[in-house]
Amino acid sequence: MKNKTISFVLAFVLTLTLIQAVTPTAVSAPETSITDVTGIGISIAAAVKRDPLDSASSWARDSISSAIKKGFVPVDMQQDYSSVITRQEFCRLTIKWLEYAAGKKIGAILSERGLSRTPNAFTDTSDNDILAAYALGITDGTGNNKFTPNGEFSREQAAAMIMNTCRVLGADVKNPPNSGFADLNTAADWARDGINFVRANGIMQGTGDNFFSPKETFTKEQSIVTFDNITQAAEWIAEAATPELPGANGTHPILNHKTVPILMYHTSSESNPGSLSELYVRPSAFRAQMEYLIEKNYSFCTFDDFENISQYQKPIFITFDDGYLANYTEIYPILKDLDVRITIFLVVSLVKQGALNWDHVVEMSDSGLVKFESHTMTHPSLPSISGNAKRLNTELEDSKRIIEEHTGVEVVALAYPNGEFNSAVITEARKHYKYALRKDLGKHYLSGSNYEIRRIRINRSTSLQEFKSLLGS
């Protein structure tokens, strides 16, 4: 029986190999099922070309592909993505990323700072990247002149090294705000600033329930995704690194990132409604904010303008989520008054008599001042229903169709409820929308994904002064 299985596997693999000789890229998926069925398949199938990305978790694949394209993932690390990363591998990834982010080789980065590698720093490694990271103050040994290159890497080590790496690029790492993680006190003393820093900058998130899990191991894919996050999120690099990077004259990959502010509101009320009051911006405050934007010559854009956004000098997006009645009673009069255009992301099941109804929607849409986009049918947590293809499709496709039927205008954008998404959600969103939006993280980088568009949240408590500083002015 066993022999029979093996010869069947061999015959199948040989057939695949033959097919592949003719069409090298046509066959990639089927052999993975063989490796799963028989132990012997693993070495045989390794000879057959397979996509190394198959070893990555689905949530990590988009980000890994993007990181590989940017060129900061060492070639021999482009496999076994879900395995724990070693201390040496993390150093190598760090140095590659630093070269990418600074737009220059590590030799130049060191010499600009008057630094050089110490060849005998450690007794158990002379790896060039480890020595460079050590010289830059990014990493340290494990004691007794050892580095322990093959030692496992933890989340707290990652946070500390990432903060140090960002400091090399000029980020301000002094006194990051307390992350508030419930288990911050279980982290090593030397790691706490790093944990606070990565959270404050949207680079690493917690592990759930407000825990950071400092001692938990860190995988290759988590490391790559994290560095990709910095590349996309690092507004501070654009601001803070400028003086330190004289070579950054338009060729620097991060400084070159253009940003666009996309403001997120919900509803409006002059009096304090009590519960969820942060969602209720005062109409007077909203008016003052819009008057400020007009005075500063911002162009009010909608997602129909997004393709051509680089043609605008100062584009801005004003978005309202959910579809509250006050969008019509409080906000719409201000839009008419000031000639301001906004986007409303509608939860279709909430459109009804007594709330924002279809008459309001059609009137505002016809005015040209309000573009309606989708915020799903029922506002579920999309990742939690992403295993149910039919339900996910209903939330995304039906909501779009129904809004289009009422307004007669194409819906091109989706706002993820609570800003939550995963790769299955993105895959479905791509089928129906050109753009999908999160709810946080600041200005959006135009080089970032059109399905992870960032926004700036405006609350009732946001003062005009804070509003101006959120826009960087």
In the numeric block, which tokens belong to residue 93? 């990834």
Whole-number Cα distances in Å, 63 to 59, 214, 222: 8, 23, 10
At closest approach, how far in Å is the CB of 418 from Zn ion?
7
- 321 vs 428 by CB, closer to Zn ion: 321
Smallest gap from residue 454 Cβ to Zn ion (A): 16
Least Cβ distance, residue 73 to Zn ion (angstroms):
35
In the complex with Zn ion, the residue whose CB is nearer, 255 or 414, is 414
Which segments of 38-127 does DSSP mark as H helices, in order? Answer: 41-47, 58-70, 87-102, 106-112
CA-to-CA separations, 403 to 346, 376, 406, in angstroms, rounded = 8, 10, 5
Binding mask 320-339 for Zn ion (x = CB under 5 A): -xx-----------------
Q: Does 31 bind Zn ion (CB under 5 A)?
A: no
Size of site (CB under 5 A) for Zn ion: 2
Rounded to a whole number of angstroms, the minimum distance from the CB of residue 178 to Zn ion is 28
Phi, then psi, of 428 in degrees rounded to 5? -70, -40
Indicate the DSSP class of residue 129. H
Which of these ranges, 32-40, 235-243, 314-322, 396-404, lies near Zn ion under the rule CB under 5 A? Answer: 314-322
- Find, among 460, 437, 440, 441, the residue nearest to 450 by Cα: 437
Nearer to Zn ion, 329 or 418 (CB): 418
Long-range contacts at 126-129 (CB < 8 A, ≥ 24 apart) = 127/88, 127/91, 127/92, 129/88, 129/91, 129/92, 129/94, 129/95
* Closest C-alpha to 443, from 257, 250, 176, 245: 257
Helix/strand number for the chain, H first, E second = 20, 12
In the complex, minimum distance from the CB of residue 449 to Zn ion, in angstroms, rounded to a whole number: 20
| Nearest to Zn ion of 321, 395 (CB atom) | 321
Note whether 193 binds Zn ion by CB under 5 A: no
Candidate segments 94-102, 122-130, 146-154, 315-323, binder of Zn ion by CB under 5 A: 315-323
- Choices 52-60, 114-122, 138-146, 318-326; region in contact with Zn ion by CB under 5 A: 318-326
Residue 15 or 277 having the CB closest to Zn ion: 277
Binding site for Zn ion (CB under 5 A): 321-322
